[in-house]
Amino acid sequence: MLTTLSFVTLAISGIILFITPPGRIAHWTGWRFWGLTKTQWSSVHIWFALLFVVAGGAHIYYNWRPLLNYFQSRLTKKVSFRFEWIIALVVCLGAFVGTLAEIPPFSSFIAWDEEIKLSWVEPEEVAPIPHAELLSLAELATEASLELEVTLERLRKAGLNAQPDMKLRDIALKHNRKPYEILEIVKGN
């Protein structure tokens, strides 16, 4: 049951991660799906992959004999290759090589993934600096050629408490805003 549930969660989180916008956009815009951020979905995916591997390992351990029987000929009781093994190996190798060689349909699928990810992007929501949400107010003021005191005053007038060493992301989370909204306030828009 653990193997099945972790597999289902892996599949769902994998599909969601497939459609999420790039990290710089997801973090800047406060993107969420079913209430979870991209980082949270990624964490869920990683932990359920670990659960799947552990549960799969336990399954192999407790079912070792039946699994070995699958590799033996029913007549001779010796190891024998089955046709479906060759098919599985060819499909996996084909997918691996096709992906690395960037040939259709593998390259088309990856290009489609990029189109989906970029469809979330609104021009006004693009960060002026990559990963601007990770900058402190002082760093943002320097990078965006803003005066720090003016920046702090604009935030205070908007009812937001912030210190120069606070990251834009943390200010946004504290005040239930998105990082790009904080920047708009700072810029006086």
C-alpha closest to that of 148 among 186, 118, 122: 186
Cβ neighbours of residue 182 closer than 8 Å, sequence gap 6 or more: 155, 160, 168, 171, 172, 175
6-64 pLDDT tens trace: 999 999 999 999 988 887 788 877 888 999 989 899 999 999 999 999 999 999 999 88
User: pTM of this prediction?
Assistant: 0.69
Measured N-to-C along each axis, helices 2-19 and 106-118 cross at an angle, to the nearest 10 degrees, of 70
145-187 pLDDT tens trace: 788 888 888 888 888 888 888 888 888 888 888 888 888 888 7
What tokens does 129 get? 């600096």
What tokens does 96 get? 């691996």
Question: Residue 75's pLDDT is what?
Answer: 67
Number of helices (H), then strands (E), in the chain: 10, 2
